[in-house]
Structures are given as C-alpha cells and as structure tokens.
Homo-oligomer: A and B are copies of this chain.
Amino acid sequence: MEPKTLDQLAQHVGGKVIGDGSITIKSASTLERAGSEDITFLTNRKYTNQLKTTKAGAVVVGSQIESNSALLIADDPYYAFRQIVVLLHGHRQHKKTGISKNAFVADSAEIGKDTDIHNFVTIEENVTIGSGCVLYPGVFIGKDTTIGDGCIIYPNVVVYDKCTIGSRVILQANATIGEDGFGFATHNGCHHKIPHIGSVIIEDDVEIGSNAAIERGTIDDTIIGQGCKIGDQVVIGHGTQLGPHCLLVAQVGIAGSAKLGHHCVAGGQAGIVGHINIGDLVTIAAQGAVINDIPNGSTLMGSPAIDANKAKRAYALIEYLPEMRKSIRKLEKKLAAKEKS
C-alpha cells in the first residue's frame, strides 16, 4: 500500500496531530521496533515507559502525553490504530484461482461469482456458496450446507452437512463446524449414539479460530450470533446459542444447550456448563468455570466462578490458608488453656 503523511492518517481516523504532521508514515510497528517512518500505539499503561525510548515517527494515543515522537490523539486509540493498519497494510490478499479442476464440486452445488475454490477442496451435493468467497485447499463442505458472500475458509477446515454460514465469515485453518455433539444415551452400561438432527447456524461477520470445534445440535440448532469472534481451539457444545458480538478467547469450552446473551466475553480456558442462561454483557475471566444462570452485566472469576471483585480478594487468600489454620489452632489452644485455668 502507499505511504501516508501523519496528517493524512489523522484525518482518516478523525484524530489530532501533536507535532509534525507532514512526516511520512510507511508502516505500523511496535513501540520497541518502530523507526522514524513507522507509527505505533499506546493503550496499555504497562508500556508507557517505552514512550521515552521509542524511535517511532508517531504514536497513536488517547490523550496528550510526553514523547519524543509525534502524537496522533484519537478518542478510541486502538480502533484508530486498527484503521491505520488497514489503510497502510490492508487485509490478507487472496490469489484468484477460480474453481480448480483439482477440486471436487458436486454438479448440484451452486457457486457464486468470483468465488475461488482451490485444489483438493470438496463441495458436496446441494451446497450453495455465495460470491466472493475463498475456499483454501483441503476444505470440505458437506451436502446441503449454505454459505453466504465474502467468506474466507482457510485450509483443511471441515464444515459438515446442513450447516448455514452467513456472509463475511472467516474460518481459520483446521477448524471443524457441525460435527456430531457429545450425545449418548447410556443404557445397560453402553453409550448409544444419538443422531444429531440439529445443525449449526453461523451468522454474519463471525470469525472462528484454528482447530476450534462447533458441534451441531442434537435436536436444536447451535447458533453463533452475528459478529461473534471465537478463538483457537474453542469448543461449542451441541445446541448452545451465542448472542451477537461475543468474544471467546482461545480454549474456551461451552457445554451443550447453554444460552449466552450479546457481548459476552470469556477469557482463555474458561468453561461454561450446559443448560444454563447467561445474560448480556457478561464477562468471565480466564480459567473461570460458570455453573449457574448469570444475570446481565456480571463479571465473574474463579472455578467455580463468583463475582470477580470478590474472587480477586478471595482467591488471593488461598495462599494464606496454612497460616489461617495455624492461627485457628493457636486460638483454640489459648482458649482451652484459659478455660482450664
């Protein structure tokens, strides 16, 4: 992409320049590595010290601060920096391959225009794929599945049959969508597989990380709401439904038939049991374990998860348990001695 002046960048993001706005900015970088033609950002106070040593041409910040670099002040500095990265570097470009002769595309499949289907892709019967999609090598799309426009499906992703995927969905490599859930009826000591007649619905603008697994519903559908972003190696159980714009960081696991509202956030390795209702705007810390219904706006931490403020104080005291126990014993002895005397 083309270099810009700092002024041009400020205009692009609706920000304000402190310093020389005429300098040329060619790329985005980190505080540590940036040079005079790079722009970087500061949103995490941890890195404030690096403002003194950075050689960056400019730094995107939220408010004025002392620095040798020029500043680009923006209301939402991380979003402004993101806009600049898109402007200077763009998103990943995908080569135009058309529909490869080395892919298998069923006669009954409908493929939209400008959709690229790479080698070794399999598109089964009655699949519908919109326009402007990219299906990288090794992708498998099961029969009767529908995919919208502008989707990017990275190598070796597997989408089972009868799934519905919206537009502008991104599936990172080796993700699995629509596999049978963990559903067995145990009878006389044997676990009998329940056919999974539900499906997976992935709404628009969702991104799903590498090696993630989204189970199809047993009899209900699994739903990933619009704009949800799901990290690597997340598992979503059968019939679980996420409201729009949830963020699930890597290795989160949600059991089946749970319902989450909109804008929920779960930190890495958090777990949520099945058959519970989690409200809107609920945040769960990393490794947290949610086992009950949760009202809107809660912030939770711990295993089992409790209110995060409580949890911060409480879990920090685990290390004092030996001391506490000793104190209790001492008190008991003293009191016993007192009672004797």
Contact = CB atoms under 8 A, between A and B. Distances in A.
Interface in A113-129: 118-120, 122, 124-125
B287 A303 contact: yes
Contacts of A154: 158, 160, 179
25 contacts: A79-B186, A79-B192, A85-B195, A90-B195, A92-B161, A95-B143, A138-B156, A154-B179, A155-B158, A156-B158, A158-B173, A172-B176, A172-B180, A176-B210, A179-B210, A193-B207, A210-B215, A211-B213, A213-B250, A215-B232, A251-B271, A307-B319, A314-B322, A327-B328, A327-B332
Interface of A: 27-30, 32-33, 40, 44, 46, 76, 78-79, 81-82, 85-86, 89-92, 95, 102, 104, 118-120, 122, 124-125, 136-138, 140, 143, 154-156, 158, 160-161, 170, 172-176, 179-180, 182, 184-187, 189-195, 197, 205, 207, 209-213, 215, 219-220, 227, 229, 231-233, 235, 237, 245, 247, 249-251, 253, 255, 263, 268-269, 271, 273, 275, 286-287, 289, 302-304, 306-307, 310-311, 313-322, 324-325, 327-328, 331-332, 334-335, 338-339
A72 to B, nearest CB: 15
A244 to B, nearest CB: 9
Nearest to A104: B119
A38 B189 CA distance: 29
A104 B102 contact: yes
A102 B251 CA distance: 35
Given A122-B137, A335-B335, 13 more contacts: A27-B197, A40-B219, A81-B185, A154-B160, A160-B173, A182-B229, A184-B229, A249-B255, A253-B268, A255-B268, A303-B303, A321-B324, A338-B338
Given A174-B156, A176-B211, A314-B322, A231 B182 contact: yes
The 8 closest A-B pairs by CB, nearest first: A158-B173, A82-B185, A140-B155, A176-B210, A317-B321, A213-B232, A79-B187, A210-B213
Contact of A140 (B46, B137, B170): B137
A136 B124 CA distance: 11
A292 B255 CA distance: 27
B176 A95 contact: no
B315 A318 contact: yes
A118 B121 CA distance: 12
A285 B96 CA distance: 48
A215 B89 CA distance: 18
A330 to B, nearest CB: 8
A338 to B, nearest CB: 8
A44 B275 contact: yes
A253 B251 contact: yes
A155 B95 contact: no
A176 B154 CA distance: 11
Contacts of A339: 334
Nearest to A205: B190
A143 B334 CA distance: 73
A194 B92 CA distance: 11
A120 B92 contact: no
B213 A209 contact: yes
